[in-house]
Structure 1
Amino acid sequence: MPQVEFHHGIGDKQAYACRLLRKASRAGVQLVVTGDVAALQALDRLLWVFDDQEFLPHVLSTGGASLPERLHATPVWLSDDPASAPGPRSVLVNLGREVPPGAERFDRLFDLVSSQPDDRQEGRARWKAYAARGWDVRPHDVNEGATP
């Protein structure tokens, strides 16, 4: 049963995701970030420039594209199909609007919800869906500009 950390009230979801990914990467965690293709492409671009002092290794794989095996060990995998990510990855970060497909294969799920009304409403629906599956959902209220 996955543990869901529900991070809500985020001002800038993309910037928050970058900080969360940096923290996880520093801890040696290999993870998958999922969402719609546009959000993943935006995150891909932001990960190249968000911190001019360090680089966060990541790969973008969308539309079921097959990537070379040498990239499979990349710590951060951005994918619209999280179940297709290679290797043993126990953490999933959701930037999407729905419960991600294949989420049950991960031990831990971070669901990021901005302070925008539409995103908050969709987040509430995901919370209910996670709880209905019997998953352990824990809220984490984020203050504007806070780091994970």
Structure 2
Amino acid sequence: MQVDFYHLTTPLDRVLPRIAERVVQTGGRLLIVAEPEAQRVALDRLLWSYAPESFLPHAHIGAGNDAAQPVLIASDVTTANAARNVAIVDGRWRDAALDFERVFHVFDEEAIREARLAWKTLGDRDGVERRYWRQNDAGRWEQAA
């Protein structure tokens, strides 16, 4: 299993839609996890409006046929849409994410301490590949570890 740590220096709005698009384009499903309700509402709006020419089917957990949703927004880790990819976007690591094939752990400066602890803890686990991504001066993602 793979855990990708994404250290944000730009708004989440510029990162998450691209991750979701790539997962869905390859036939995968994605669970997006954010505990604060206001953040989940904002994510829903973002996925509808991030680009005029785009359409990324998604829903909030419990809003209707969860199992049919390619992208599902939830407050905690769940397998309701049979996703094998999970994006934790509120900066709070959850060990339940280790049941997925790929984890996108997205965090900003406010959550860096917790992200470092998760990085260290996961380094001691068998079968977990960790990668750390940061943005360069041009805003492009580079693998740093």
Question: For the superposition of Structure 1 and Structure 2, which TM-score range results when normalised by the shorter chain?
Answer: 0.7 to 0.9
* Correspondence 1:1-148 to 2 at 5 A: 2-37=1-36, 38-61=38-61, 66-69=62-65, 71-83=66-78, 85-114=79-108, 116=109, 118-134=110-126, 135-143=128-136, 145-146=139-140
- Name the aligned partner's letter for residue 17 of structure 2: C
The residue type paired with residue 42 of structure 2 is A
Amino acid at match of 1:138: R
* TM-score of the superposed pair, with normalisation by structure 1: 0.80
Note the alpha carbon deviations across 1:39-80, whole angstroms, 9 max, x for none: 22211111111010021101112xxxx4433x4211101111
Give the SS at the match of 2:103.
strand
Question: Among the aligned pairs, what percent are the same residue?
Answer: 25
Which amino acid counterpart does residue 118 of structure 2 have in structure 1?
R
AA at the equivalent of 1:146: R
8 Å contact from structure 1 (residues 25, 75) kept in 2? yes
Q: Is the alpha carbon distance of 1:42 and 1:68 closer, same or farther for their aligned partners in structure 2, counting shifts above 3 Å?
A: closer
Q: Distance in 1 between matches of 2:107 and 2:47?
A: 19
Deviations for 1:70-120, whole angstroms, at most 9, x for unmatched residues?
x4211101111222x324311111112322252121011111123x3x222
Normalised TM-score (structure 2)? 0.81
Which sections of structure 2, spanning at least 5 residues, go unmatched?
none
Unaligned runs of at least 5 residues, structure 1: none
Q: Between Structure 1 and Structure 2, how many residues are aligned?
A: 139
Report the RMSD for the aligned CA atoms in angstroms: 2.2
Contact preservation (8 Å) 2:32, 2:73: yes
